[in-house]
Structure 1
Amino acid sequence: MAERILFDNDTGIDDALALVYLLSRPEVELLAVSSTPGNVSAGQVARNNLALLQLCGRPEVDVAIGATAPLEIPLVTTPETHGPQGIGYAELPPPQRQVAAADAVGLWVEAARQYPGELTALITAPLTNFALALRKEPRLPQLLKQVVIMGGCYFYQGNTTPTAEWNTHVDPHAAAEVFAAFEGADEDRLPIVCALETTERIELHPDHVGRLAALAGCPEPELVLPGDPAGRRSTAALPLIRTLSDALRFYFEFHRRYDQGYVAHVHDVFAAAVAGGTAEYRTRAATVHVGTRPGPLVGTTVADFRGLWGRKPNARIVTWNDPPAVSDEVLGSIAGLARRLGTG
């Protein structure tokens, strides 16, 4: 049986890679992609999603927009991290389709009701749209088969503030609502949380891009090199390899600028592999609290693994994963898609 997935993202370089990976998996039935403001505005997220679906030969997949701002605080985007359009140096042609008439929140609720117990919700963005969907349909924790969230950090340094991860920091009020909605749910229905301590282990390097190209049969494997002039475009023959190379090059440069090396932490790819059922991982149930008060701890996520608060768990936090296996799986699968698509 196919894995039916509804994907909510804020595309984002690693969101883009996650979307392409899902499209490369024959056992994944991607029902729709909903667009949440985060790395870029909701409108730009939707344009990126439409263009990527078009590039991957899947223009029939609906793309919807829901919220255009976080629940209670102003939107802050990340052009320094993902580029002004959210996909680094990549240049995609304007999509030929428009966003769906239905908004993302209605799409979430309709899909969950149509496929009770069958739908996996994958969220690699701030939790704004999901929080609004829970307000509209409080039974989502029972209707959904599984929820996979990329967000938060626990006993681990944040990537936005010393204690906060980006997605949760953008809309902490939405995150707090989502975790509260799952408190007391059966353990197998609790969200699987892919937090920074495991997603930062999924690193790509320039040699991974070369390997991706080689696996796809692309004649130019050396596509991304440190020290090349900023903004150099890939000349790879395959459009998908060209796009991903140009996007990842920007991401490599960002991480090097912040003294993390010429690497890319592709957080959302791991979450996509979890949702698609292709990643090995272990989890531990916990009660998650999200800081929402203004100040230095806003967006901070705290996990009670020992029941000290006397509250029921509301999440399953990933405590172990296998980065080399994830990289092998993702690169091989995307290379196969690039090869099938050809030169376009």
Structure 2
Amino acid sequence: MTRLLLDVDTGIDDALALAYLASLPEVEFVAVTATPGNAGLRQVALNTLAMLELCGRPGVEVAVGAEVPLSVPLVTTPETHGPQGLGHAVLPPPSGSVSARHAADVWVEAARAHPGELTALITAPLTNFALAIRREPRLPELLKRVVIMGGSFYHQGNTTPTAEWNTHVDPHAAKEVYAAFRGLPEDRLPIVCSLDTTERIEMRPEHIRLLSAAAGCAVEELVLPEQPEGLRSTSENPLVRHLSDALRFYFEFHRHYDQGYLAHVHDFFAAGVAAGTLEYSTRTATVDVEVESTLLMGTTVADYRKLWGHPPNARVVSGNNPEQAFQELIRSVGALAARLYER
């Protein structure tokens, strides 16, 4: 059993990550916390509650934390994820409600109650995680494993020429988090899924067609570049339909930025790393984040050769297997959709 604490900014690829994790019987959601990023805080929380319920995981505690980054103004990204964060998808309103607890308290109390048992997955800006570490500096030692989606090292940024979105939204939080892991044993260092490898996880129309087939849909789910933008799915399977509508928006966004009719589903890959189901390799490094330069704000730097003379504080993913990742996604989420919504 993998017992997960998650922090998300649900978004399209966060939603796919939640669906994938929900499809794994061996994954327990201890709690999910929300950070603003892809959308504002309240919308992120509602998206998260609705997605968990759609995926057959009602009753999971969803808590909110910081409303803004530590030191810079909040920016969100409706052009990337749509006005409500889930592209063209409009999920049923959730029946559950947001927890009264603060996200940082959720993390600290859970880690103290279950030392060495919980895997942390952060697919959002690191604001809530940084606040939790401020409240409990031993948090990096109390968690069993930490997986972070963020950063860009030897790869073009996706927000500025050098910065990745999550780190750019709250670079000061990222800097604090990486500093907190300095000097810990290698098996306690966070696994960092940066753009260097997450942009290899390219979801394409064929993957959606195969997902619908795995779910047992009677009609092929076709999301094609020649179709009108904004076309809504008519799939009889609610999970397939909502994922299709969300991903169509993501395909359209990537095409607008000359990347092709595809979607980089970063957070799904990080989720698979946290769950232990996807293939990957890592390199140990000392990571730091630029927070002073206007030109380079949010840039992550990895010292693999110990030139700074500081101890390592991260394991940066250096290789992965996209073909294996999508085979696993289609098999597992397809089975979940079939199980939940059999005709």
1:185 aligns with 2:184: yes
Q: CA deviation at 1:230?
A: 2.0
The answer (yes or no) to whether the contact 1:239–1:343 under 8 Å persists in 2 is: no
Identity %: 66
Matches for 1:73-152 after TM superposition, within 5 Å: 73-152=72-151
The answer (yes or no) to whether the contact 2:190–2:314 under 8 Å persists in 1 is: yes
Q: Which amino acid aligns with 1:308?
A: L
Provide the rounded CA distance (Å) in 1 between the counterparts of 2:164 and 2:243.
24
The answer (yes or no) to whether the contact 1:39–1:79 under 8 Å persists in 2 is: yes
The answer (yes or no) to whether the contact 1:209–1:221 under 8 Å persists in 2 is: no
Partner of 2:220: 221
* Deviations 1:42-65, CA, capped at 9 Å, x for gaps: 110000001011111211111000
Q: Give the TM-score of the pair, scaled to structure 2.
A: 0.99
Q: Which amino acid aligns with 1:88?
A: G
Partner of 1:323: 322
The answer (yes or no) to whether the contact 1:8–1:36 under 8 Å persists in 2 is: yes
Provide the rounded CA distance (Å) in 1 between the counterparts of 2:124 and 2:170.
9
Provide the rounded CA distance (Å) in 1 between the counterparts of 2:245 and 2:205.
11
Q: CA deviation at 1:343?
A: 5.3
Provide the rounded CA distance (Å) in 1 between the counterparts of 2:93 and 2:183.
45
Q: CA deviation at 1:24?
A: 0.4
* Deviations 1:98-127, CA, capped at 9 Å, x for gaps: 101111110000111111101000000000
* Alignment size in residue pairs: 343
Matches for 1:195-214 after TM superposition, within 5 Å: 195-214=194-213
Cα RMSD of the aligned pairs, angstroms, is 0.9
The answer (yes or no) to whether the contact 1:112–1:144 under 8 Å persists in 2 is: yes
Provide the rounded CA distance (Å) in 1 between the counterparts of 2:93 and 2:164.
31
Provide the rounded CA distance (Å) in 2 between the counterparts of 1:220 and 1:108.
43
Could you say what secondary structure the match of 2:277 adopts? coil
Matches for 1:252-291 after TM superposition, within 5 Å: 252-291=251-290
Structure 1: any 5+ residue segments left out of the alignment?
A: none
Q: CA deviation at 1:294?
A: 4.3
Q: CA deviation at 1:223?
A: 2.7
* Deviations 1:69-102, CA, capped at 9 Å, x for gaps: 1000011100000000000000111111110111
Could you say what secondary structure the match of 2:59 adopts? coil
Q: Which amino acid aligns with 1:299?
A: G
Provide the rounded CA distance (Å) in 2 between the counterparts of 1:338 and 1:24.
8
Could you say what secondary structure the match of 2:5 adopts? strand
Q: Which amino acid aligns with 2:16?
A: L
Runs of 4+ in 1 over 2 A off after TM superposition: none
1:161 aligns with 2:160: yes
Q: Which amino acid aligns with 1:330?
A: L
Provide the rounded CA distance (Å) in 2 between the counterparts of 1:46 and 1:294.
32
Provide the rounded CA distance (Å) in 2 between the counterparts of 1:87 and 1:301.
27
Partner of 2:33: 34
Could you say what secondary structure the match of 2:70 adopts? coil
Q: CA deviation at 1:155?
A: 1.4
Q: Which amino acid aligns with 1:228?
A: Q
Provide the rounded CA distance (Å) in 1 between the counterparts of 2:273 and 2:221.
29
Q: Which amino acid aligns with 2:291?
A: T
Q: Which amino acid aligns with 1:42?
A: L
Could you say what secondary structure the match of 2:323 adopts? helix
Could you say what secondary structure the match of 2:146 adopts? strand
Provide the rounded CA distance (Å) in 2 between the counterparts of 1:207 and 1:59.
30
Q: Which amino acid aligns with 1:316?
A: R
Could you say what secondary structure the match of 2:268 adopts? helix
Partner of 1:242: 241
Could you say what secondary structure the match of 1:198 adopts? helix
Provide the rounded CA distance (Å) in 2 between the counterparts of 1:296 and 1:214.
47
The answer (yes or no) to whether the contact 1:216–1:339 under 8 Å persists in 2 is: yes
1:232 aligns with 2:257: no
Provide the rounded CA distance (Å) in 2 between the counterparts of 1:15 and 1:256.
20
Provide the rounded CA distance (Å) in 2 between the counterparts of 1:337 and 1:223.
20
Q: Which amino acid aligns with 1:275?
A: A
Q: CA deviation at 1:208?
A: 0.5
Provide the rounded CA distance (Å) in 2 between the counterparts of 1:220 and 1:73.
47
Q: CA deviation at 1:257?
A: 0.5
Q: Which amino acid aligns with 2:275?
A: G
Partner of 1:336: 335
Could you say what secondary structure the match of 2:20 adopts? helix
Could you say what secondary structure the match of 2:33 adopts? strand
Partner of 1:63: 62
* Deviations 1:12-31, CA, capped at 9 Å, x for gaps: 10000000100000110111
